[in-house]
Structure 1
């Protein structure tokens, strides 16, 4: 009997990947290609969408060959992609720019400041359910209009990254609610493009793609796309969703009462709720299924520990090299030997500043160093400090009336049992880890499966494909100590905001 496989595509920043996945969530074959990030000026970040397409073609062919996958076995396709990229195409489908703005591009900061100073900014934020930030698609489009007027005038539609790949596969144009909610152009109440928000940004709303649910079939693989991929013409393709939302689907954030802790280089605390949380210290994205995801982010969460290892732990790195051990196999026992709370040592993980929870001029620092402070205490303080920071968005969401009962964690930090236990103790909630996590590409495949009826809904697809590993229960005896340290952490954080801003003004 022929296999029934789902094909997932993930257009990341550092790489693109294609995987063929069975209905239980196991990868049959995959291929990936690294991608160049172009930074022509400080704060600018660009990529060529044609590179995404060529890498996708290459990855499809390589994965099909390595797994002996035939086009007949592929029953549906879903695409995830880095969010907020701004791809302009003409009415004939011509790509109008080979250097499009990405999620991490900050060049629209002055336009964001203009919106913040607008007398209707509060009204706009309520409509969008978000604060204005340079990452949003709408400000990218506004920048193109101001600085590349010829491209703006020729543009028929502006497409996010995954929608451009879907367009190349199907010739159909649409985006989903997760991408639209990260644009500062969608009315969060009606889930439709807002003419009022478009007017604030002086953007023609007709240049935006239609909005569809992420699991809806948008079209099928065209004969032209089939000829260059090896896929069958007529294979269904769903709308897909942003990579963050697809990752959250595959990491447990598919039911009320759950939160997802993603501890990678950047670290995210995201929560699944019915409606956006109207607290502009957080950002809100519509999930790839009914519901919303308010979240907070640390640009240097796990990256803080990497910095410490690279910059401070020379002796331990040399020991790891000499003995063939992983560096964390050496550092974790040192941190485990330190009492929870590190005798009052706090770490603030703001090596790359803060987003909506504090000043962008914030810097990382240790607070409370004494002659007793050693490598183990500093490693543990970094783990605790990142977790204290991630508790802040969790607390804000719960204060809005939402109850969170459990946390699912993925990313490099989830590989540390010590860090997972610290999270359970600081959050005072059970923390679950996974045996393996395929991330956004599995989420995109689940959406494809829902679109063609393999799964009745996203929640069922997620439940059938997730494989939990361990559960870390909170230690109630540490609740009082960690709560006191958390309150101190917030107090010191708030007192440092003005000094950080003053420091930024010193030449």
Structure 2
């Protein structure tokens, strides 16, 4: 269940995709800084519809071995005993409503202590401040809630009745989890969650429970089918392309950019997220921007809604560096490494000679500069060994090439680009021992290599780009206050 759609696949034990289905959806933006989804009407309904479609595609005589669902995250879904959501799900870091709670919890627990235990400073990405926001601003909702969930654990509960959450998602529920110890931070979690119980912790590839009768009737999935926990969609996507070993990196080109790097020992950086991985006892660094594909969609809309192929052709005709045009892609604030919900988008160097193609190329390059900034921080923990690119944004002939040119890093592309749902299928197969734990279905088909002719130019432009945010931060904040 992604930001813009829910996707499902039916896969056999050799990793062959037998059927797939996709349903598009949108998030709700009811107030400035808010980003929500109706968990039941969107996520659960779409999981039911896709599951029914895929079950009907099963080969004659075959049986369904297991099911696994991942989703956007970290999110907050508050439910009653009957798993009725009591309010719309509060989405991940693009929802910035809890800025006051981030500050107050940081003051209460201490920034150093939070970084030491959770591996990550509190930001709009963290679930703890979102829980605190509901407790403060919607006490009736908080008082009626009997459980809290992420997107995937909500679906797992709807399927099985089990109250559990995977370790990776829990490690993004800062400051409720001790990442280095792979366990709940019971003291702080009790302070924030109050009487709400903590979910049982499981690894993403572990079986949570089995599909019960009501869920079987709704989804078409046979009663008793094992359900594997799953995790946040970006990590399932990384798993789908074999990003599992130390130094492996994933760049996910989607509505936002999300980056993952597997590390071999605990490392915390205030500008990154340190998390549990998918494999038992594994660790990872992560980072994510607030916009990427969403910015391209916005540009497409405000420039007249021309087909993307036409827009990409115009952008491709623009030389590297956009003839002096540069952008900060902070249209929804920014997550890593800025962590500033009041950051704003910026086009710098705009002149009358710049056209629509320049705007699109500058957007891709601005995203690429942000990726370079993050990868340089990843290198402080462990130099990247291999970088795998995934996501729908790879359909753009410009985007990934610009990222390789700007970062100087080649990117591997796998044959199967479906993404997170394919990783879910592999986790399901591992969870019921249909395949060995080390199984990797990914087949690399080609490599995106940097163009050396652009390196010197991009090195120079990157240094300019890095100065744009600190030079305009105060002005952005003032404008943001006017627009709130």
Same fold (TM over 0.5): yes
Matches within 5 A, 1:253-332: 253-275=243-265, 277-289=267-279, 290-312=281-303, 317=306, 326-328=309-311, 330-332=313-315
Distance 1:109 1:240 in 2: 29
Change (3 A) 1:308 1:206: closer
Aligned-partner Cα distance in 1 for 2:352–2:220: 65
| Cα deviation, residue 50, structure 1 | 3.2
Which of 313, 329, 335 pairs up with 1:355? 335
Cα distance per residue 1:412-437 (max 9 Å; x no partner): 43223443332222221211234441
Aligned match for 2:9, one of 19, 42, 46: 19
1:460 matched to 2:439? The reply is: yes
Aligned twin of 1:383? 364
Q: Tell me by how many angstroms 1:54 deviates.
A: 3.7
Give the aligned partner of residue 188 of structure 1: 179
CA contact (8 A) 1:349 1:386 kept: yes
Aligned-residue RMSD, C-alpha: 3.0
Higher mean C-alpha displacement, 441-450 vs 206-215: 206-215
Structure 2 residue aligned with 1:367? 348
Give 1:42 shift. Answer: 3.7
For 1:148 and 1:419, how far apart are their aligned partners in 2?
Answer: 42
Alignment-derived partner of residue 425 in structure 1 = 405
Shift of 1:331: 1.8
Aligned counterparts of 2:364 and 2:35: Cα–Cα separation in 1: 30
SS of aligned partner of 1:207: coil
Shift of 1:212: 1.0
Matches of 1:306 and 1:224, distance apart in 2: 39
Instruction: Note if contact 2:312-2:397 (Cα within 8 Å) is conserved in structure 1.
Output: no
Measured after TM superposition, the shift of residue 312 of structure 1 is 4.2
Q: 2:101 is matched with which residue?
A: 111
**How much has 1:245 moved relative to structure 2?**
1.2
- Of 48-57 and 210-219, more deviation after overlay is shown by 48-57
The answer to whether the 8 Å contact 2:316/2:361 transfers is: no
SS at match of 2:68: strand
2:86 aligns with 97
After TM superposition, give the deviation of residue 388 of structure 1 in Å.
Answer: 0.9
> For the Cα contact (< 8 Å) 1:71–1:230, is it kept in 2?
no
Is 1:410 the counterpart of 2:394? The answer is no
Q: Separation in 2 of the partners of 1:378 and 1:57?
A: 40
User: For residue 479 of structure 1, what is the aligned residue in structure 2?
Assistant: 455
TM-score, scaled to structure 2: 0.88
Q: Which has the larger radius of gyration?
A: 1
Alpha-carbon shift at residue 329 of structure 1 (Å): 5.1
Deviation at 1:74, TM superposition (A): 0.6
The whole-number CA distance in structure 2 between the counterparts of 1:329 and 1:15 is 23
Are 1:71 and 1:232, in contact at CA under 8 Å, matched by a contact in 2? no
Cα 1:287–1:378 change in 2 (3 A) is same
User: Structure 1 regions of 5+ residues with no counterpart?
Assistant: 1-10
Equivalent residue number for residue 3 of structure 1: none
1:504 equivalent to 2:480? Answer yes
Local SS of the residue matching 2:317: helix
Q: Partners in 2 of 1:205 and 1:460 — Cα distance?
A: 41
Is residue 59 from structure 1 mapped to residue 40 from structure 2 by the alignment? no
The whole-number CA distance in structure 2 between the counterparts of 1:24 and 1:74 is: 14
Aligned to 1:212: 202
Structure 2: gaps spanning 5 or more residues: none
Q: Assess, with a 3 A threshold, how the Cα gap between structure 1 residues 85 and 350 changes in structure 2: closer, same or farther.
A: closer
1:246-278 C-alpha deviation (Å, 9 max, x unpaired): 122124422222222222232223322234542
Query: Matches of 1:383 and 1:47 in 2, distance apart?
Result: 27
